[in-house]
Amino acid sequence: MCGIAGFICFERDNGRPEWAAIAHSMGETLNHRGPDDKGQWACPAGVLIHRRLSVIDPDRGRQPMTRTQGEKEYTIIYNGELYNTEQLRQDLVQRGYRFETSSDTEVLLTAYMAYGEEVGSHLEGIYAFVIWDGARGQFFACRDRFGVKPFFYAWTDDGAFVFGSELKALFAYPGLRPRVDSAGWCEVLGLGPARTAGVGVFAGVEELKPAHYLVLTPGGARQAQYWTLVSRPHTEDYDDTVHHVRELVSGAIRRQLVSDVPLCTFLSGGLDSSVISAVAALDYGQRGLPPLETYSFDYTDNAKYFQPSAFQPDADWPWVERMVDTFHTRHRVLTCPIPDLVHLLDEAVAAKDLPGMADVDSSLLYFCRQVAQTHVVALSGECADEVFGGYPWFERPEMLYADTFPWSRDLAARREVFQQPLWKRLGVEDYVQYRYGQSVAETPRLEGEDRENTRRREVAWLNLNWFMSTLLDRKDRMSMASGLEVRVPFCDHHLVEYVWNIPWSMKAMNGQRKQVLRDAAEGLLPVDVRRRPKSPYPKTHNPLYEELVRARVATILDDRHAPLHSLVDEQVLRAGLMVSAGDYGRPWFGQLMAGPQMLAYLVQLNTWMERFGLSV
């Protein structure tokens, strides 16, 4: 993976001397995404900037990369990985193209030369890239189908198009200043840590939506969508469906094991990470490679304080041991100290440029830094619950039929903490309902589907476009801030296309969520692991975490200059969350973000406002 940035303008006196300094400043903000190499390329219309984390063909895959066709030049900067590189290469060779490297960057650039603006439909992988097309005199940008790799952009007052993998890169461009308008505050206060697709939160900042491309010419800019899910009747019986799922899942995992640098998997002992680790371990054995290396995550004294709940029924460590014993992986348990968990709340904001998932972000940042000391690439089980319907809101009526986002049904916890006049003036609740209704209306419908399955399809659509996007956003920023590439096989678009149309009666055969995936893993996983109830991303149960977070909030409230004062009702906060024990059984976002995570979110809000000089 890498970091990309740049600026483009066809309408002014171009090639100015200060461009090199601007490009350098923008690129430096992304050094963490690409610690191995740096480069930039300029033409009269703009500059393309690259920071590289070497994964495939480290010696010859440098960027920006330029290739010629006749007298015309094509230049690319690219962040991502292609999983169908060899298939594309073979097709392109048959078309007469020749290659100088084994890198997927050269294959991607050549694919654009061959397929033009239709290139996105030929790609399998995770990517965001920009290409200068010398034949057409235009720039072409494209983002992967689920937005695994980020791409933000803004227009300056003098007509420049400025873009980057992260928001911070944009604000290194002269004249672009971080500012948040009422819609941006509604995003952060009402929807956060989720975010509307295409919205960059900061005023004037947008995001290239997943499965979209953008073309910039002297005549202007245009965007188009190159892929979307299609709802159609599912015609296979259950046995054939299980077989099909098994083939799609194992194929996606095996394709993503390609790497010229050390690779590992994250292993929690849950169904999703266990499937990935099992397929990877067996593949390594078949190829005669050293044992697969795996990592699991925990917190100081977690075993001492763990309490089962409806959302987190058991601890991970016995299941991890079961998997390690079965597949003989070289395993390491990473344990996060609680003070680090709190300290890294600020660094997680610096990584994401927005307030995020509180300790879910900071812990992942800690773990990724540890993994990155020995590995460059990791595979993770994200997206399986969104794709296969693993969350309780797919079946609990009060969640399934909630006329709002099911992972954030009740805004009361937010409404009580923030100042009521501000909350009402911004129209936070109306904004949330508007975004919800807008997204539901976009759901691909299936004619003749009954009310229950229609609603499940809506909830599945919301999950893919909101909840999954939030997790992918978190994974990219925390891993890339550590110089680690994390791949997500369950986000394979062939798999998602197929599972999208499997009816709920098969997905949850015999009333068991994700049963079709469990049955697809028969013969692969130990029976008890295959049947293990869902357990989410591991969290700390150590009361020290809540104690330290409360102390952080108290320090902020005691500072009369802290920007958080402009948002919160201090009296309510001091009398409520600051004194009551956290209830992990009643989350305000997702499954485990409860009282302590609300306090941590406020810490991140304050850090974010300080970092960017924001006021409301």
Catalytic residue ranges: 2
| Pairwise CA distance, residues 11 & 9, whole Å | 6
140, 218 Cβ separation under 8 angstroms: no
Q: How far apart are CA 142 and CA 7, in angstroms?
A: 16
HEC letters along 60-112: CCCCCEEEEECCEEEEEEEEEEECCHHHHHHHHHHCCCCCCCCCHHHHHHHHH
CA 602 to chain centre: 22
Query: What gap in Å lies between CA 440 and CA 460, rounded to an integer?
Result: 10
Q: How many whole angstroms separate alpha carbon 75 and alpha carbon 113? A: 10
Q: Which residues pair with 130 in a beta bridge?
A: 77, 141
**Residue 457 CB-density burial (10 A; 0-12 exposed, 13-18 middle, 19+ buried):** buried
d(CA 238, CA 516): 8
Give the 3-state secondary structure of residue 439: helix
Q: 475: which 2 tokens?
A: 């994974």
Cα 400 to Cα 133: distance, rounded to the nearest angstrom? 47
Angstrom distance (rounded) from CA 106 to CA 66: 9
Closest CA to 375 of 4, 32, 55: 55
Helix spans in 214-353 (H): 238-255, 271-286, 302-305, 317-327, 338-352
Q: Are 278 and 530 in contact (CB under 8 A)?
A: no
How many helices (H) and strands (E) would you count in the chain?
Answer: 25, 17
What ranges in 490-542 are assigned the alpha helix state H? 493-500, 504-507, 515-520, 527-530
Q: Which residues contact 340 (CB under 8 A, 6 or more apart)?
A: 362, 366
Task: Indicate the DSSP class of residue 191.
Answer: I
Distances (CA, A) of 248 to 66, 252, 270, 271, 559: 35, 6, 19, 16, 54
Instruction: Give strand ranges (E) for 113-183.
Output: 125-133, 138-143, 152-155, 161-164
Q: Which residue(s) pair with 220 in the sheet?
A: 217
Tokens of 309: 């709940």
Q: Which two tokens stand for residue 205?
A: 């900042």
Rounded to whole angstroms, the Cα distance separating 167 from 477 reads 11
CA 285 to each of CA 141, 254, 374, 382: distance values in angstroms, whole numbers, following the listed order: 39, 13, 21, 24
Determine the residue type at 240: D
